[in-house]
Structure 1
C-alpha cells in the first residue's frame, strides 16, 4: 500500500494569509488506483437578493485529499479552513453556504479536490432581479407635438430573467386599435388629437412586482367645429339659440357672423360659452335676424368655420309611416319642426308603373290640406297625418310632402314609397317584414312642375 504525502502550509506575512496546497502524487491502495470523485453534479442556482444558498460538494474516496472552494481565482476555503474574510460565507460539511445574497455574488463557484488534478466541480449562481425600467422621454414627462406628426416612446427594461415590456394607453385603446403592444419601442404616426393621453409602459418577469412608467402625450391641433343643428327654426318675438362645439389646442378665438358680416354682442344678441360649446343666443327674434350664420375659430395652428341657418320656415317633413298599406287606403304620418303652427300642407303622390324599368310617368295627385297637428314644445316638432284613399291594390306608390307656416313653405321632403297589399292576401308576415311583389323596380325621381 502506497499513500501519497499531502501537506497544507499556511504562511503568515504582514497580516496576509497565503495558502499552498501540496500533493506529492497519486494514491494507491492494495495495488490499484482508488481516486476520489465527485458525488455531486454541477448545477445552476437561482436566487433572489437576500436569499441563502448552499452549494453542494460531496466527494467519494476523499482520503487525505483536501477540498478547496474558489470563486474565479479567489480562494474561499481549504479543507475546513475558511480563507475569505466575508462573514456571509461558511462551510456546512464540505458544502459552501452563502447568506444574504447580493447581486455581486453571481458567477461561477468551483469545488476542487487538492490541486485540481482530480477534477473540479463548478456551480453557477445567477441572481434573479425584479424588473426596472428607464423611459425616454423621462417617466412622468409630457411630450407635446402637433397633429399629423410622428412620435416615439422607448421603455428599456432590465432584470433577470429578461422582462417582457408592454405598452398600453391609460384610457382606451392604442392608436393601432390594440389593447397592448409588446416591445420596448412605441411609434405613433400621423398623430391625431384623439391620440392625446397617458401611455404606460409595464415590465414584468415573474420576479417581484411588475413596474410601470408613464408618459403623457399632448397634441396641438387646429380648430375643429361641429354643429348639432345646421338648421334652426324660430319665429318673430321668440328666442333662438345657435350652438357650435369647438375642439382646439391651443384654445382658439371664436367669432360669429351673419351673412358674412361680423357680429358684436348686444343686449338682444348674447355670445356665451360653456366648456367646448359656444352659443349665440338671439332674443326677441326679428325678421332681419333670419339668414345664414357662421362661427369661426382660429388658433396659432389653423382655423375652421361652420354654418347654421336661422329661419322661420318649417323644416322638411320627416315621413314616419310604414312601407306598406291596406289595399285601398294609406295612413300617411309625418313630423315637421316648426315653432309656428302649420297652416297648410301639400301632398303629392302617384302610382309607379313597375311592369318595366324606367317607366315612371304616372300622374301626380296634388292635394292641399289643413290637417290637425300635435305640438311638442320640447322639440318644436308637430305631428300630422292624412289618409290617402282610392289606392290600387298590389301597387307601388311614392309621395312628397311640403308644409307651410306664416313664413312660407318648407323644403320638399325625401321621397317616401310604400306598397298597397293585394285584396284578400296579407302583405306583412309574422316577422313584420314586407313580402316582395316579385318585380324589380328602378326609380328615376322626377320632381313635378308644381314644386318648381
Structure 2
C-alpha cells in the first residue's frame, strides 16, 4: 500500500509532465496586406495541441469566425483548413474593405492563449467625379481653379499633367510673368492665374496610391477670346494665267466662321477656278487659304479674309497685282509664214470664218497693192447672186452669204522671195475676180 509521500510524488510528476506538454504557439501570425478583391490566408502554428481546440475571432467586432474545423460566421467568403493537427488556416476569399482589422487565433486552455495578425485591405484609387472639376470655360486673362479628389486606401496622391505633354504655367495672382513651368503639378487643387490661349487644352488629373491601377480624369480648359488675324503677305504679285495662293492666319475661340470677299463685298466660294480652304492647326489656330487658278485681269484687286465668332469680328486685306513673267498662254504675236493664204481641206470651221471685225493686213510695209478689209470683201460677196458660186454658201436669208474656205491672211515676212511674190499675185487675182462679179 502506497504511502502519502509516494502519492504526492506521483501527483507532482503528473503535473510536471502535463505542464511540459501544454499547447503553445510555434511562431507569430504574419500581418497581411491584400488588394481588395484578392484572397487572404492567416496561418496559426500550434505545438502540443493535444485535446485542445483552435478558434478564430475578428478582434474588433468579437465575431467568432471558426472553432477548430467548423465555420461559425455566416460570411460565405470565410473558411478554415488544417494540416497535421498543428497548422491551422483561416481563409478569406475576395477581400472587402470591411474585412480590414485584427484576427485572433485562440487555444481554449485555462487561461486562454491567443495571438493576433492584422489584415490591411488596399483599395486602388477612384476619382470622385461629384467633387472634381468638369470642363471649364474662361475668358482670356481670367483665373481658373481645377479640383480633383479621389478615394482609395492608402490615401491617393493627385498629380496634374497636360495631355499634349507641354508644361503647366504657374503664375502669381498679381503678375503676368510665369513664376515657373512644370511638367507635373502635385495637389488636389491647381490654380491658373491670368490664363492665355496657349494654356487652352486638356489637363489630366492622375490619382495613384501604390495599388494598381492608377486612374485619371480629363478636364478640358477652353479660353475664349476675340478673333485675331495675321497676314504674312499683304501684297501678292503673279503673272497672268498662273496660279496664286493667298493666306491668312486666324486665332479665335469659340471657333470662328472664316470666309473671303472681294473688294466690292462679293463672297468668294469654291469653284472650278477658286479653292477655299480652312486648315486647323490647333483648337484655336486656323490657316485660311484661297487658291486662284489661271488668274485673269478680272481677278486682280483686293481680297479680304474675315473671321467672326460670338465675341467679335476681324478682317484683313491682301492685294493681288500683275507682275511680268511667263504665263501658260501661247505667244499671241503674229508669226511670219511663207504662204499668205491657205485652203481648209477639212471643210469650214470656227477659225475659218471671216467676220466683219477681222481685217486683212498688208503683206509688208511699203507694198503698193493693199488688200481690202474683210468687211469690204463680205460686202462684195453679199451682192453676188446665189448661183452656187465656189467659196460661197447661201444662208436662209436672201442676199446673205458666208465665205467658208478662206482663212485670215497672215502678214508676210519682210525680205520675201519669189514665193511671197507668188502669194501677192494670187491675192491680186482674187480681188480682180471679185471686181468682175460686180
* Residue 45 (structure 2) aligns with: 58
Find the aligned partners of 1:248 and 1:161 in 2 and give their Cα distance.
Answer: 44
Give the alignment of 1:335-414 within 5 angstroms: 339-340=323-324
Return 5+ residue gaps in structure 2 as ranges: 1-6, 9-13, 170-180, 279-285, 329-438
Counterparts of 2:114 and 2:64 in 1: how far apart (Å)?
14
Write out aligned runs for 1:131-210 (5 A): 131-135=125-129, 142-176=135-169, 177-210=181-214
User: How big is the shift at 1:90?
Assistant: 1.5
**Whole-Å separation in 2 of the counterparts to 1:137 and 1:106:** 26
Corresponding residue for residue 221 of structure 1: 225
Q: Aligned to 1:69, what secondary structure does the other structure show?
A: strand
Alignment of 1:23-42 (within 5 A): 29=16, 36-42=23-29
Kindly indicate whether residue 277 of structure 2 is the aligned counterpart of residue 274 of structure 1.
Answer: yes
1:265 maps to 2:266: yes
Alpha-carbon deviation of 1:125? 0.8
Q: Structure 1: where are the runs of 5+ without partners?
A: 3-26, 313-338, 342-374, 378-452
Relative to its length, the structure with more helix (as a share) is 2
Instruction: Verify the 8 A CA contact 2:245 2:289 in the aligned structure 1.
Output: no
Q: Does 1:247 align with 2:247?
A: no
Normalization by structure 2: what TM-score?
0.51
Shift of 1:198: 2.8
- Are 2:65 and 1:76 equivalent residues in the alignment? yes
Structure 2 CA distance, aligned partners of 1:188 and 1:148?
A: 10
Instruction: Label 1:91 to 1:137 Cα distance change in 2 as closer, same or farther (>3 A).
Output: closer
Change (3 A) 1:111 1:240: closer
Q: Aligned partners of 2:231, 2:162: CA distance in 1, in Å? A: 29
CA apart distance, 1:180:
3.5
In 1, the alpha carbon distance for the partners of 2:110 and 2:166 equals: 61
Q: State the SS of the aligned residue for 2:213.
A: coil
Query: What whole-Å deviation, never above 9, does each CA across 1:14-64 have from its counterpart, x for those lacking one?
Result: xxxxxxxxxxxxx95369898654322143212234544331222345566
Cα displacement (A) at 1:75:
1.6
CA contact (8 A) 1:56 1:95 kept: yes
**2: distance between equivalents of 1:118 and 1:164?**
44
- Secondary structure (helix, strand or coil) at the match of 2:266 reads coil
Secondary structure (helix, strand or coil) at the match of 1:29 reads: helix
Q: Residues 183 and 138 of structure 1: is their aligned pair in 2 closer, same or farther, counting only changes over 3 Å?
A: closer
CA drift of 1:138 comes to: 6.8
- Aligned match for 1:43, one of 23, 26, 30: 30
Q: How has the CA–CA distance of structure 1 residues 36 and 245 changed in structure 2, closer, same or farther, with 3 Å as cutoff?
A: same
Q: Specify the SS of the correspondent of 2:149.
A: strand
Alignment check: 8 A CA contact 1:48 1:101 kept: no
Residues 263 and 280 of structure 1: is their aligned pair in 2 closer, same or farther, counting only changes over 3 Å? farther
Q: Spell out, residue by residue over 1:134-160, the C-alpha distance to the aligned partner (whole angstroms, 9 max, x if none).
A: 346879x64333322232333323334
Look up the match of 1:449: none
Shift of 1:129: 2.7
Matched-pair contact (CA < 8 Å) for 1:166–1:184: yes
1:299 aligned residue:
309
Q: Judging changes above 3 Å, is the alpha-carbon distance between structure 1 residues 183 and 229 closer, same or farther for their aligned structure 2 residues?
A: same
Offset at 1:105?
2.0
Contact residue 235 and residue 285 of structure 1 kept, 8 A: no
* RMSD over aligned Cα atoms: 4.6
Would you say 1:86 and 2:75 are equivalent positions?
yes
Provide closer, same or farther for how the CA distance between residues 376 and 35 of structure 1 changes in structure 2, counting only shifts above 3 A: farther
- CA 1:32–1:302 in 2, change beyond 3 Å: closer, same or farther? same
Larger radius of gyration: 2
Q: Deviations over 1:239-298 (max 9, x none)?
A: 97653222222344668899xxx741189xx99842141659796559x958xx875645
1:357-416: per-residue Cα shift (whole Å, max 9, x none)? Answer: xxxxxxxxxxxxxxxxxx999xxxxxxxxxxxxxxxxxxxxxxxxxxxxxxxxxxxxxxx
Q: Secondary structure of the equivalent of 1:194?
A: helix
CA distance in 1, matches of 2:255, 2:63: 68
- Change beyond 3 A, Cα 1:128–1:238: closer
Q: Secondary structure at the match of 1:245?
A: strand
- Check 1:142–1:234 CA distance in 2 against 1; reply closer, same or farther (3 A cut): same
What is the distance in 2 between the residues matched to 1:68 and 1:75?
8
Contact 1:237 1:285 in 2 (8 A): no
> TM-score of the superposition, structure 1-length normalised?
0.50
Report the Cα distance in structure 2 between the residues aligned to 1:169 and 1:79, rounded to whole angstroms.
57
